[in-house]
Copies of this chain bind each other. A is one copy, B any other.
Amino acid sequence: MVQKMANQSKKAILMLLYEHQDQFLSGQRISELLGCSRTAVWKQIKALIDDGFQIQSVQKKGYKLLSSPEGLNEAAVKAGLRTKKLGQMIYFFDKIGSTQKEALRIADEGAPDGTLVLTNEQTQGRGRLGHTWQSQRGTNIAMSLILRPDLPIDKTPQLTLLTAVAATETIEKVTGLSCGIKWPNDILYKGKKLVGILTELQAESTYVKAVVIGIGINVNTEPEAIQETINQVASSLHAITGEHYALAPFIQSFLVLFEKLYEQYLERGFSAIRPLWERRAINLGKQIKVRQPGGRILEGVARGINDDGVLLLEKGDGSITRVYSADIEWEP
């Protein structure tokens, strides 16, 4: 109990330091803001230094955060986050099997709309249709977002497409790279995968209880550490640009962009998202092979998506088949 309170004040102090980055914040001010003693503040500052944070301490001026240990922490994401709901509640794990599995579990327990499950290291990441998703300690983004939209269940797959738009816009804003979307849920740069998205639904008959969106982004993986999979060549933003990107501001940008798109979507429907998605889509008009969950393979030309976000595949005989869920293969 005492330990939990101490952890709470450590997190709160760290958030204050993040919010006042590049300035000194006095121990007196911190103790006033948090309603704890100056001794308690000093104890937690020491604990943060033990955790790997570099904090400058100057007599009569106070404390200043100089740098953070590699990887993510909850306070860094929360400090100054300008969203209404998304990420306002964060479940942070230094290490976890799968953020998606944990998010599904806490969604079922009643976690509020906009809750974010976040980790520094994911050991058993879940990919779409049973694929796995790797994420190395402290280098990449692995997170799951819990949404509770008032939508008919058949509309919820559109949120995968919305997420893909939010992720490409975030990457463009942070790195300047313009990525493409491979229907339904991969984001590629020059044919190499940078982002994977997994949308899962919990519904009670016709009533949507929660949509849980898992997002994995290859941010800072070194080129030599990138894992090749059978179907898909992968890369990382760092491998492409040579830069290192701070993960917390990256996530904040994503949450802000996602929330804006999500509000437009809830207000105006998928028509607000579809043109943004189609502008980024890289397999429209191309000959593709589609491997469906049962193993059946369809071939044809990807003609577009309909208002439900379903892929329209034109087969050799000119007929159009609607593809609900599948892996796509095609010749670039």
B-binding residues in A (CB < 8 A):
101, 104, 108, 128-129, 150, 152-154, 156-157, 160, 184-185, 198-207, 209, 293-294, 310, 324-325
Contact = CB atoms under 8 A, between A and B. Distances in A.
A325 B325 CA distance: 26
Copies of this chain assembled into the complex: 2
A207 B101 CA distance: 17
A203 B206 contact: no
Closest 9 CB pairs of A and B: A154-B154, A207-B325, A206-B324, A201-B203, A157-B206, A157-B205, A206-B325, A199-B205, A160-B205
11 contacts: A104-B108, A150-B294, A153-B157, A154-B154, A184-B205, A185-B205, A199-B204, A199-B205, A201-B203, A201-B205, A206-B325
B153 A154 contact: yes
Contacts of A128: 204-205
Nearest to A184: B205
Contacts of A157: 153, 205-206
Contacts of A202: 200-202
A257 to B, nearest CB: 21
Contacts of A207: 129, 293, 324-325
Nearest to A109: B101
B199 A129 contact: no
Nearest to A324: B206
A108 B126 CA distance: 12
B200 A203 contact: yes
A204 B325 contact: yes
A264 B67 CA distance: 64
A104 B104 CA distance: 10
A184 B201 CA distance: 21
A152 B293 CA distance: 13
A157 B201 CA distance: 14
A245 to B, nearest CB: 28
A203 B203 contact: yes
Given A152-B154, A152-B324, A204 B294 contact: no
Contacts of A203: 153, 156, 200-201, 203
Nearest to A155: B154
A4 to B, nearest CB: 25
Contacts of A199: 204-205
